[in-house]
């Protein structure tokens, strides 16, 4: 018994990537980008506002943070809700005191259920984040269904907030083969699903330009505190170490770097956790340039045009 | 099945009517020992197995039994040292199995509330009559053994049905520990329109989550408890907060965990603005003084 001979054919064996979505580009070989005021590090905070239905279909798979026990899983449902009613208020108060602006990837279900929360966000940036945490985009998904999901999610955020909303993070960062095309079709300028870079890069779609932004799944409260079970003080240390390294790299290369920090109010908004974030941000803020995803994208794009890149 | 249980309205934790606890205190502190009985060979529930191995699953069964034989007595002594009356989340059948524990807690005027009949009998799949039967059993059995009528409920092994809250309110209970959506008491919507509330119990501070799920060290548990307290104590100046430490004697009652834990109790109870109390007293005080204000504020925000 042998494998079919086609198993040893390598059609995409070539220089660069095995697909045409983006160009192979080692970080050290790229032209520098610089941040306003000569800041070394841009601080981009994303706060996810999510709705986890009590009765998930889980089709075709569950996303992280979904219900765990048999129905009705009040325990996990109400703990997620805690984030949107208590935890997020702790974050907003902290951002107000430190004069920070953040991006809020927001499920359309949150916008529909709690429009007042979107009004509380004031000058923060809303980012498309799908319908809810039980509607993943996935390979093989029906095109019309995905188109409707994206159009409806964005329209809901735009209607409720009045913001243009031109950024996107897919729920669970899960995509179909055509998600990028459908995002561009719906007026999205940047997205943050691919976790392969620390800097923005140009993503290729059949419908035109889309910027891939380095939204972090690594420096994320959910990953570090919940999945890895590290201590709150360790999370703070990891933020500070990330910042210190990026600042050194920026100084050495002369080009700006990005500290992307991902937060979930149901995780970091707990009373015993918020203090660690507070201490880390107070330190980082001394030298970082705080910016939202959309603004960062535009600053980066402007320099690509100037350099002809 | 519903996407949302519909048990409470959205109520952002900001600019709420100010809560002040008795004597001007700003944080209501309560300790909820779960005094549980797990059966060695319970009947199966179609939606959840009690043990992973075939009967007898010796390790996890005897681990929990340690709590009743050894850990409880140490934990009780520690709470005595800090003049804390426990609010007992009780597997009601333990009244029949281990009356010595019940007697010791009655002598200390601890509160008893229900945590179901056994922690190995789940509510999944119960019809209304069956759920009524466990509530009635709990009310009658606890009353007979302790003279107390239960006011609170923590579902056995945190298993519920869609009608649990409605039934608890109908039987005159005043509070649930099963909702984790807030750091203050909140109204809970029930079919019969009784005044029923959620008293913050905590999974985050629960020794079973921190030790069994998060696998943290005893000293880090102290750090977490102190950080949780510090934040809620600070915010309690604006409007009174609630901090609960749910315990399990088989976990916290291990010798290597008790001494560090004492440090946390010492720290918390040494603050002047702390009301050391029980779940029932928090519910009573909040229902009498703040339920109406909360309901009005929630309604006003909805318009």
User: What domains are there in chain B, each with its CATH number?
Assistant: 22-302 (3.20.20.370)
User: What is the arithmetic mean of pLDDT over A67-75?
Assistant: 96
The minimum CA-CA distance between B180 and chain A, rounded to whole Å, is 5
User: What is the arithmetic mean of pLDDT over B106-118?
Assistant: 98
- Residues of chain B with C-beta less than 8 angstroms from the C-beta of A275: 227, 230-231
Burial class (CB in 10 A: 0-12, 13-18, 19+), B207: buried
Contacts from A143-152 at CB under 8 Å and sequence distance 24+? A143/A178, A143/A182, A146/A176, A146/A178, A146/A179, A146/A182, A147/A182, A147/A185, A150/A179, A150/A182, A150/A183, A150/A186, A151/A186, A152/A108
- Residues of chain B with C-beta less than 8 angstroms from the C-beta of A54: 1-5
Q: Which of residues 202-261 of B touch A (CB under 8 A)?
A: 203-205, 214-216, 220, 223-225, 227-228, 230-232, 235
Q: Which residue of A has its CA nearest to B179?
A: A78
- What is the structure's pLDDT at B303? 65
- What is the structure's pLDDT at A305? 72
A286 band by pLDDT with thresholds 50, 70 and 90: confident
Q: Is residue B283 over pLDDT 80?
A: yes
User: What is the arithmetic mean of pLDDT over B199-226?
Assistant: 96
Nearest to B5 among A74, A82, A273 (CB): A74
A308 band by pLDDT with thresholds 50, 70 and 90: very low
Token pair in block for residue A203: 């993503």
Nearest to A74 among B1, B179, B224 (CB): B179
Q: H or E segment at B169?
A: helix B164-170
Return the half-sphere exposure (C-beta side, CA atoms, 13 A cut-off) of residue B94.
30
Q: What is the mean pLDDT of chain B?
A: 97
Token pair in block for residue B136: 């009635």
- What is the structure's pLDDT at A309? 44
Q: How far apart are CA B274 and CA B22, in angstroms?
A: 10
Q: How far apart are CA B231 and CA A169, in angstroms?
A: 32
Interchain CB distance below 8 Å, A231 and B220: yes
The minimum CA-CA distance between B276 and chain A, rounded to whole Å, is 19
Interchain CB distance below 8 Å, A53 and B3: yes
What domains, with CATH codes, occur in chain A? Answer: 31-306 (3.20.20.370)
Q: Which residue of A has its CA nearest to B212?
A: A229
Contacts of B49 by beta carbon, 8 Å cutoff, 6+ apart: none
A284 band by pLDDT with thresholds 50, 70 and 90: very high
User: What is the arithmetic mean of pLDDT over B116-129?
Assistant: 97
Token pair in block for residue A89: 């208020």
Complex-level ipTM: 0.88
Interchain CB distance below 8 Å, B181 and A86: yes
- pLDDT, tens digit, 9 for 90 and up, residues A14-55: 999 999 999 999 999 999 999 999 999 999 999 999 999 999
User: What is the arithmetic mean of pLDDT over B116-143?
Assistant: 97
A149 band by pLDDT with thresholds 50, 70 and 90: very high
The minimum CA-CA distance between B204 and chain A, rounded to whole Å, is 8
- What is the structure's pLDDT at A287? 87
User: What is the arithmetic mean of pLDDT over B145-158?
Assistant: 98
- Residues of chain A with C-beta less than 8 angstroms from the C-beta of B205: 272
Q: Is residue B27 over pLDDT 50?
A: yes
User: What is the arithmetic mean of pLDDT over A94-122?
Assistant: 96
* Counts of helices then strands in chain B (DSSP H, E): 12, 9
In this structure, is the dihedral angle defined by the CA atoms of residues A61, A63, A69 and A73, taken in order, positive or negative? negative
Q: What is the mean pLDDT of chain A?
A: 96
Asked if the C-beta of B44 comes within 8 angstroms of chain A's C-beta atoms, the answer is no
Contacts of B5 by beta carbon, 8 Å cutoff, 6+ apart: A54, A72, A74, A77, B162
A306 band by pLDDT with thresholds 50, 70 and 90: low
What 3-state DSSP class applies to B128? helix
Q: How far apart are CA A149 and CA A143, in angstroms?
A: 10
- Residues of chain B with C-beta less than 8 angstroms from the C-beta of A78: 178-181
**Residue B45: other Cβ atoms inside 10 A:** 18
- Residues of chain A with C-beta less than 8 angstroms from the C-beta of B181: 78-79, 81-82, 85-86
Nearest to A54 among B2, B180, B204 (CB): B2
User: What is the arithmetic mean of pLDDT over B14-34?
Assistant: 98
Asked if the C-beta of B161 comes within 8 angstroms of chain A's C-beta atoms, the answer is yes
Token pair in block for residue A56: 């998930």
Q: What does DSSP say about strands A41-47 and A257-263: parallel, antiparallel, or unpaired?
A: parallel
Percent of chain A with pLDDT over 90: 96
- pLDDT, tens digit, 9 for 90 and up, residues A188-201: 999 999 999 999 99
Q: H or E segment at B112?
A: strand B111-114
Q: Is residue B67 over pLDDT 60?
A: yes
Residue A162 Cα distances to A154, A186, A191, angstroms? 11, 16, 20
Percent of chain B with pLDDT over 90: 99
Interchain CB distance below 8 Å, B160 and A74: yes
In this structure, is the dihedral angle defined by the CA atoms of residues B89, B257, A69 and A51, taken in order, positive or negative? positive
Q: Is residue A252 over pLDDT 60?
A: yes
Asked whether A243 and A44 are in contact (CB, 8 A), the reply is no
Interchain CB distance below 8 Å, B180 and A89: no
User: What is the arithmetic mean of pLDDT over B157-177?
Assistant: 97
Nearest Cα neighbor of B21 from B300, B295, B288 is: B288
- Residues of chain A with C-beta less than 8 angstroms from the C-beta of B16: none
Longest pairwise C-alpha distance within chain A: 68
Peptide bond into A72 cis (omega under 30): yes
Residue B137 Cα distances to B54, B93, B140, B143, B171, angstroms? 29, 9, 5, 10, 12
Q: Which residue of B has its CA nearest to A113?
A: B10
Residue found by looking up tokens 């706060």 in the block: A47
- Residues of chain A with C-beta less than 8 angstroms from the C-beta of B224: 232, 272
């Amino acid at each position: 018994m042998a494998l079919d001979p086609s198993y040893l054919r390598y059609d995409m064996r070539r220089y660069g990537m095995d697909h045409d979505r983006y160009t192979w580009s080692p970080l050290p070989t790229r032209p520098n980008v610089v941040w306003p005021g000569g800041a070394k590090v841009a601080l981009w905070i994303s706060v996810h506002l999510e709705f986890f239905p009590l009765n998930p279909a889980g089709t075709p798979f569950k996303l992280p943070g979904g219900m765990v026990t048999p129905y009705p899983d009040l325990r996990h449902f109400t703990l997620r809700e805690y984030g949107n009613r208590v935890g997020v208020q702790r974050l907003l108060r902290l951002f107000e005191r430190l004069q920070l602006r953040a991006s809020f990837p927001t499920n359309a279900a949150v916008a529909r259920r709690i429009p007042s929360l979107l009004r509380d966000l004031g000058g923060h940036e809303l980012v498309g984040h799908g319908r809810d945490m039980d509607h993943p985009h996935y390979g093989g998904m029906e095109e019309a269904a995905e188109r409707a999901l994206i159009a409806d999610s964005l329209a809901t955020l735009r209607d409720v907030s009045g913001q243009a909303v031109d950024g996107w993070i897919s729920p669970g960062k899960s995509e179909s083969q055509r998600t990028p095309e459908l995002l561009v079709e719906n007026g999205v300028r940047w997205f943050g699903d691919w976790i392969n870079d620390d800097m923005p890069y140009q993503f290729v779609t059949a419908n035109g330009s889309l910027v891939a932004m380095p939204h972090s799944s690594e420096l994320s409260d959910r990953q570090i505190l919940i999945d890895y079970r590290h201590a709150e003080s360790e999370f703070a240390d990891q933020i500070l170490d990330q910042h210190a390294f990026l600042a050194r790299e920026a100084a050495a290369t002369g080009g700006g770097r990005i500290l992307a920090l991902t937060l979930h109010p149901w995780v970091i908004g707990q009373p015993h956790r918020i203090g660690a974030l507070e201490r880390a941000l107070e330190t980082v803020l001394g030298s970082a340039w705080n910016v939202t995803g959309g603004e960062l994208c535009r600053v980066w794009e402007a320099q690509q045009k100037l350099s002809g890149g | 099945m519903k996407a949302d249980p519909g048990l409470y309205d959205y109520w952002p934790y900001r600019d709420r009517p100010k809560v002040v606890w008795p004597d001007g205190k700003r944080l209501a502190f309560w300790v909820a020992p779960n005094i549980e009985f797990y059966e060695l060979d319970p009947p199966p529930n179609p939606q959840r197995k009690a043990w992973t191995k075939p009967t007898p699953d010796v390790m996890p069964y005897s681990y929990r039994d340690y709590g009743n034989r050894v850990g409880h007595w140490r934990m009780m002594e520690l709470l005595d040292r800090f003049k804390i009356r426990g609010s007992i989340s009780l597997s009601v059948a333990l009244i029949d199995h281990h009356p010595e524990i019940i007697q010791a807690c009655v002598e200390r005027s601890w509160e008893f509330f229900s945590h179901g009949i056994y922690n190995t009998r789940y509510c999944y799949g119960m019809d209304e009559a069956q759920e009524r039967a466990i509530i009635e059993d709990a009310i009658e059995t606890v009353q007979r053994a302790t003279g107390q009528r239960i006011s609170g409920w923590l579902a056995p092994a945190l298993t519920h049905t869609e009608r649990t809250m409605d039934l608890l309110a109908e039987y005159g209970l005043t509070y649930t520990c099963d909702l984790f959506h807030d750091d203050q008491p909140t109204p809970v919507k029930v079919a019969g329109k009784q005044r029923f509330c959620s008293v913050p119990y905590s999974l985050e501070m629960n020794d079973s989550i921190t030790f069994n799920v998060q696998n943290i060290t005893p000293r880090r548990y102290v750090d977490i408890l102190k950080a949780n307290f510090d934040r809620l104590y600070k915010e309690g100046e604006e409007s009174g907060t609630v901090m609960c430490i749910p315990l399990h004697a088989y976990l916290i009652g291990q010798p290597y965990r008790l001494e560090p834990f004492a440090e946390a109790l010492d720290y918390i109870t040494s603050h002047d603005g702390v009301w050391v109390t029980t779940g029932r007293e928090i519910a009573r005080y909040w229902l009498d003084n703040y339920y109406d204000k909360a309901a009005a504020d929630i309604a006003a925000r909805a318009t």
